[in-house]
A and B are shown apart, each in its own frame.
Chain A
Amino acid sequence: MSAVEAGELACHRPAATETEASGEAPAAGAVDGDGSPVIAVVGRPNVGKSTFFARASGRYAEVANVPGTTVSIARRHVRLGGRAAVLIDLPGAFTLTDRSDGLPAFWQLLLAARPDAIVVVVDAGDLRRHLPLALACRDLGVPIVVAANLADEAGARGIEVDLGRLSQLLAAPVHRTIGRQGVGVLAAVGDAIRLAGVRSSGDRAAVRRALPVPPYPADVVRRVSALAGRLAGGDVPTDHVPPELLSAVAAGRLSPVGAATIVAAEDLEPERWAVAERWAAQVERRHAVRPPLADRLARHVTAPWPGLPLFALVTLASLGATMALGTFLSNVLGSAWSAAVSPVLTAVVTALVPIPALAAATLWALDSGLLAMVSVGIPFVLSFYLLLAVLEDSGYLAGAAVLADRIFNALGLPGRAAIPLLAATGCNVPAIYGTRVLDSRRERLLASFLITLTPCSARSAVVIAALAPFAGPLAAFAAFGVVGLIALSAGLAANALVPGHQSPLVLELPPLRRPIARQVGAKAWFRFSSFVTTATPVMLAGSFVLGGLYETGAIGPIGDAIAPLVRGLLGLPPVAGIALALAFLRKELALQLLLVLAVAEYGAGASSLAAFMTSGQLFVYAVVTAVSVPCVATLATLAGEFGWRSALTVSGATLGVALAAGGIVARLVGIA
């Protein structure tokens, strides 16, 4: 199965729960602990499945108007009409046999949830492409309810569906639903709970036998039946049938016929599509209408004109908005912290911790570390998440991805990578989370590597502040140019070095939709809280360790150790090396630390950068700061998303790139 299909299933986290009350993994059990039936919600990507789920369960899962954004399996307890049930939101799937990067096939996810009934969410306006999945679910022998969703959008396109007829054909209840407004959602889920009750109380075997395998051609039905007979008798070579399927049959979770329809998926799929084509033609009524405004706009988004200028406008506006909102919040929170929190913390810590060095290190962690979170992390991260959520939910992101696709292909990335990379110029941390919109781990790692090489606002501030006053604005521009070249070459090299290749784009474009405020808020908040929980402990620990090194003077020997590298390779004074290392905590500290350390080393005369560094040295220092090792929050995020090994590899690679590039630049400007 290709990475394209795989990506649509993209579960970048282990198939586990997110924040729900039950806290159980989906595999926890058929009829849940308390006897509630399990209802799985299944649908093709972008059919509004998660919005549907949110309406049914009263809570928003992480959803986006980008295919494949159900990144974890949500599980919620609901009560409808006095009946309790457990609702399970699965990732979007094209077929039951979809398989994504490092994840089990979709049918395995589905069976692990042990559904007593399935709600298949289909697009009422595009039954031909959505009914095959409903047929596949029905073939499993689990009762299904079909939600003909997006009925409002279908109506706007002049498409009406004869639900009664469709229900007859499918031999299953069909509900007209509009997930965004909640129309029909509870009725559909209620119906599924009712069917699940019939199934778990009644004779299961009888229910299964009664399930129709037709409308497929007789020869296909015969083949499936023969296969089912052999599966029932255990008379099947195991290399043809996945063991999970055999154990599901043995445990009575799946009928032999249901299992046979999975094994014979390749034969059945074309038949399902043919049936869907026939049935859609029977139940659809089309009226000629003027295409809705959203459809006409959608076309302009991906056309070179006015799509490209619009793309430039949207990216610049997003960037500006994130920076403006982030800077504003940062200033407000930062001054509030200095005025109200900092003095209290200092007083409390000094009073409680008797050892001065320990007290100072603790303050580094609690005061500087938390301040970094509050004044840098939170403002930029939260404002970016809000903006990203709006771009995703409106459907614009997918359109922009198509426009930029070719450009990013050179770096082994699809066009969608444009948005996280742009976000990186604000703050690397949300940008790395933003790579979840990409398909494969390879793409996410390549994009994250480029992100760490992209100067965030803090690093840009260092470049500007170090160069503009002493070497002129042109030098600052030149430094950004050099950094851009470094990132580009490193990206090209990484694409060539990292094994694997990029799969060419096949992407369903979502229609443009007005984002739902609650959904945007819920999504931004969900991502934001996962940022805070990942980054805060690392920030605290990192600050404490660095503070301890500084306060105990242990930083001195470290400085001596790296002096040859700093002086010999980069042509910089040794204090600059220490400042670079300490800036790991917070990149904008690179400059302040440099001054503090310089005064400590050379005396008060060194209070200006120009007093102890030449323009050439400042240039090298700025470039190396902009490129080298991500900050501690970024490292923590990388570790959280990819594991420590990959996080350290990426960070090590940026350090290597920074040193190599710094060495070259130092020789070019003649300081080493």
Chain B
Amino acid sequence: MRKSESPTQECALADLPAGVPARVVAIDEERLLVLAAHGIRPGVVVSVEDDAPFGGPRIIRLGPARLAIARVVAAAIRVRPEPAADAARTR
């Protein structure tokens, strides 16, 4: 997978706007194992589909899979939005 040269600002997955594909760049050590087992690893592209109400989990798309991730966990994932040309690819 090639690295994105996008100038777009890196942010936490918790702050990523819905519908924007973004590549995972880093994950806090303490959440790494759990997230990795679900396939959320540095290098993969995710996007936020929706947010559950009352500050509930974020619904994340990862390829064909949908995952619900609590906000504290989403805060531990650093992502960089993909350039628009890559937006069609979700991986």
What are the interface flags for B24-51 relative to A under an 8 Å C-beta threshold, 1 for contact and 0 otherwise?
0000000001111111010000000111
Q: Are A126 and B34 in contact (CB under 8 A)?
A: no
Interface residues of A in 377-417 (CB under 8 A from B): 401-407, 415
Q: Does B73 contact A (CB under 8 A)?
A: yes
Q: Does A4 contact B (CB under 8 A)?
A: yes
Q: Are B52 and A403 in contact (CB under 8 A)?
A: yes
Which chain A positions have C-beta within 8 A of B59?
Answer: 299, 302, 402, 509
What are the interface flags for A29-66 relative to B under an 8 Å C-beta threshold, 1 for contact and 0 otherwise?
00000000000000000000000000000000000000
The contact of B52 among A4, A94, A304, by CB within 8 Å, is A304
What are the interface flags for B48-76 relative to A under an 8 Å C-beta threshold, 1 for contact and 0 otherwise?
01111111110100111111111111000
**What is the CB-to-nearest-CB distance from A422 to chain B, in angstroms, rounded to a whole number?**
18
Interface residues of A in 265-324 (CB under 8 A from B): 269-270, 273, 277, 298-299, 302-304, 307-308
**What is the CB-to-nearest-CB distance from A122 to chain B, in angstroms, rounded to a whole number?**
13
Q: Are A402 and B34 in contact (CB under 8 A)?
A: no
Q: Does A507 contact B (CB under 8 A)?
A: yes
Number of interface residues of A (CB under 8 A): 38
Interface centre among A269, A270, A506, A507 (most CB of B within 10 A): A506
Interface size band for B: 20 to 34
Residues of B contacting A: mostly: mixed
Which chain B positions have C-beta within 8 A of A157?
Answer: 64
Which chain B positions have C-beta within 8 A of A302?
Answer: 50, 52, 59, 68
A95-B54 Cα distance, complex, nearest whole Å? 33
Which chain B positions have C-beta within 8 A of A406?
Answer: 52-57
A643-B68 Cα distance, complex, nearest whole Å? 33
Known: A402-B68, A504-B73, A506-B69. A308 touches B53 (CB 8 A): yes
Which chain B positions have C-beta within 8 A of A269?
Answer: 36
Interface residues of A in 119-177 (CB under 8 A from B): 125-126, 128-129, 157, 159
Q: Are A509 and B67 in contact (CB under 8 A)?
A: yes
Q: Are A405 and B37 in contact (CB under 8 A)?
A: no
Q: Does A641 contact B (CB under 8 A)?
A: no
A442-B72 Cα distance, complex, nearest whole Å? 21
Which chain A positions have C-beta within 8 A of B91?
Answer: 128, 277
The contact of B63 among A4, A126, A405, A505, by CB within 8 Å, is A126
**Nearest CB to that of A507 among chain B residues?**
B68
What are the interface flags for A1-41 relative to B under an 8 Å C-beta threshold, 1 for contact and 0 otherwise?
11011000000000000000000000000000000000000
A415-B57 Cα distance, complex, nearest whole Å? 10
Q: Does B1 contact A (CB under 8 A)?
A: yes
**What is the CB-to-nearest-CB distance from B46 to chain A, in angstroms, rounded to a whole number?**
12
Q: Are B34 and A128 in contact (CB under 8 A)?
A: no
Q: Does A508 contact B (CB under 8 A)?
A: yes
Which chain A positions have C-beta within 8 A of B73?
Answer: 504-506
The contact of B68 among A98, A125, A509, by CB within 8 Å, is A509
Q: Are B67 and A506 in contact (CB under 8 A)?
A: yes
Known: A4-B34, A94-B38, A129-B39. A407 touches B72 (CB 8 A): no
A126-B90 Cα distance, complex, nearest whole Å? 12
The contact of B66 among A159, A403, A504, A509, by CB within 8 Å, is A509
Which chain A positions have C-beta within 8 A of B33?
Answer: 1-2, 5
A113-B14 Cα distance, complex, nearest whole Å? 42
A1-B34 Cα distance, complex, nearest whole Å? 8
**What is the CB-to-nearest-CB distance from A346 to chain B, in angstroms, rounded to a whole number?**
56
**What is the CB-to-nearest-CB distance from B23 to chain A, in angstroms, rounded to a whole number?**
13
Which chain A positions have C-beta within 8 A of B37?
Answer: 5, 94-95, 98
Q: Are B64 and A299 in contact (CB under 8 A)?
A: no
Q: Are A504 and B72 in contact (CB under 8 A)?
A: yes
Interface centre among B1, B50, B65, B73 (most CB of A within 10 A): B65
A496-B54 Cα distance, complex, nearest whole Å? 22
What are the interface flags for A176-191 relative to B under an 8 Å C-beta threshold, 1 for contact and 0 otherwise?
0000000000000000
**Nearest CB to that of B41 among chain A residues?**
A273
A307-B39 Cα distance, complex, nearest whole Å? 26
**What is the CB-to-nearest-CB distance from A202 to chain B, in angstroms, rounded to a whole number?**
35
**What is the CB-to-nearest-CB distance from A86 to chain B, in angstroms, rounded to a whole number?**
29
Which chain A positions have C-beta within 8 A of B67?
Answer: 506-509
Which chain B positions have C-beta within 8 A of A95?
Answer: 37
Which chain B positions have C-beta within 8 A of A94?
Answer: 37-38
The contact of B57 among A125, A129, A402, by CB within 8 Å, is A402
Known: A504-B73, A507-B67. A405 touches B39 (CB 8 A): no
**Nearest CB to that of B56 among chain A residues?**
A406
**Nearest CB to that of B30 among chain A residues?**
A2
Which chain A positions have C-beta within 8 A of B56?
Answer: 402-406, 415
**What is the CB-to-nearest-CB distance from A110 to chain B, in angstroms, rounded to a whole number?**
16
**What is the CB-to-nearest-CB distance from B68 to chain A, in angstroms, rounded to a whole number?**
4
Interface residues of A in 94-119 (CB under 8 A from B): 94-95, 98
Q: Are B34 and A303 in contact (CB under 8 A)?
A: no
Which chain A positions have C-beta within 8 A of B70?
Answer: 405, 504-506
The contact of B34 among A2, A129, A509, by CB within 8 Å, is A2
**What is the CB-to-nearest-CB distance from B10 to chain A, in angstroms, rounded to a whole number?**
21
What are the interface flags for A495-531 relative to B under an 8 Å C-beta threshold, 1 for contact and 0 otherwise?
0000000001111110000000000000000000000
A432-B68 Cα distance, complex, nearest whole Å? 25
Which chain B positions have C-beta within 8 A of A405?
Answer: 52, 56-57, 68, 70
Which chain B positions have C-beta within 8 A of A304?
Answer: 50-53
A414-B38 Cα distance, complex, nearest whole Å? 18
Q: Are A299 and B50 in contact (CB under 8 A)?
A: yes
Q: Are B54 and A407 in contact (CB under 8 A)?
A: yes
Q: Are B68 and A159 in contact (CB under 8 A)?
A: no
A302-B57 Cα distance, complex, nearest whole Å? 10
Known: A129-B38, A402-B52, A507-B68. 6 other contacts (CB 8 A): A128-B91, A303-B50, A406-B56, A506-B38, A509-B66, A509-B68
15 example contacts (A-B, Cβ-Cβ < 8 A) are as follows A5-B33, A5-B37, A94-B37, A129-B38, A129-B63, A302-B59, A302-B68, A303-B50, A403-B53, A405-B57, A406-B52, A505-B69, A506-B34, A506-B67, A506-B73
- Which A residues lie at the B interface, using CB under 8 A? 1-2, 4-5, 94-95, 98, 125-126, 128-129, 157, 159, 269-270, 273, 277, 298-299, 302-304, 307-308, 401-407, 415, 504-509
